[in-house]
Amino acid sequence: MTIDVHGHVTPPELLKRFPMPPSLGDIDGMVERKAALGITTTVVGSPVGAGTMLPVPGIDNYAQSADSLASFHEWVAETVRERPGVLIGYVYVNPLEGGASVARAAELLGQEEFAGLIVNTSVRGEFLDDARSDEFFAMAAEAGAPVLLHPPAVPVAASSMKKVGAIEHVVRPCDITMGVAAILLAGRLQAFPGLKLVAPNAGGALALLREKLDMAQRRDQVEGPPLSAQLRQIYVDTATPSLPALRAAVEVFGPDRMLFGTDSPPLATPLDAALAAVDALGLSDEDRAKVLGGNAAELFGLGSVELRRAS
């Protein structure tokens, strides 16, 4: 069983409204392509809810109405119900909004179609070390739900890079790096010990900054265990074409914290290359099985996924 923890889907009406890759609406094509390679299950959602990852003048992804988000999540739930055991959903929420938004996200997590949360590593230029995120983190810890810390459509410093390709492939991984570092330096793992955080793209550059994180912690007199040790509490996915990054992730986070992910759709990196990258890490058979599916099955509570497919 191979589980992809990082896939995206978009309702047809949003594809008509926004300039987004058509692959986001080709659900059956995604399932068929992955099944042909032995990828049995994909955890799907959107890091922008009913918004768009491509810049559109006048569109603010964080200004979505409760009704539009409710409609979006009902579509995700229906999409999952139509493909039992093959798809499972993420609940999207703005972690800095609190109040009714967090309550609605908690309610959705009670539905069997959803097994995790997807949030942005920064919101309108602010990281999640702000106290406004406390309510969200408390809910996620209490629910025991994995939180995919996905970069936003407009990451920090996006205006300085300008080009779409540079934003997508350079700035967003940096947002992951800074966003997770901000969470660690704010002591969120100590304040909410039940948190299950997933950093995509092999954790951005975090694996290369292990010692620097400790230096920042000492310089700012942040209490708690060394951040280099706290990194072992973070999960990362394999959604990067960089084999050196994946090898660094194995060393820093450990194979028990690595999850197979492709960012597909919409990322066009060949799926067989994503699988081959895991093989190239030279893991033991046991650790390889963990990365490809065992860790995700335990983290997302998908141990009975094969039984659900059979039924």
The enclosing domain of 49 has a CATH number of: 3.20.20.140
Q: Which residue blocks in the chain are alpha helix, DSSP H?
A: 12-17, 27-35, 66-81, 99-109, 134-143, 158-161, 164-166, 172-185, 188-191, 210-219, 227-230, 243-252, 271-279, 285-289, 295-299, 305-310
pTM over 0.85: yes
Residue written as tokens 């074409």? 241
Reading the chain (311 residues) residue by residue, the pLDDT tens digits are 899 999 999 999 999 888 888 999 999 999 999 999 999 999 999 999 999 888 777 788 999 999 999 999 999 999 999 999 999 999 999 999 989 999 999 999 999 999 999 999 999 999 999 999 999 999 999 999 999 999 999 999 998 987 989 999 999 999 999 999 999 999 999 999 999 999 999 999 999 999 999 999 999 999 999 999 999 999 999 999 999 999 999 999 999 999 999 999 997 668 999 999 999 999 999 999 999 999 999 999 997 544 344 43
Task: Please tell me the total count of domains within the chain.
Answer: 1
Domain that holds residue 302: 2-310
Instruction: Take residue 57 and report the two structure tokens written for it.
Output: 């003048």
Instruction: Take residue 119 and report the two structure tokens written for it.
Output: 């949030």
Instruction: State how far the Cα of 95 lies from the Cα of 303, in Å rounded to an integer.
Output: 28
Phi-psi region of 239 (alpha: psi -120 to 50; beta: other; left: phi over 0): beta
Instruction: State how far the Cα of 309 lies from the Cα of 85, in Å rounded to an integer.
Output: 4
Instruction: State how far the Cα of 50 lies from the Cα of 13, in Å rounded to an integer.
Output: 10
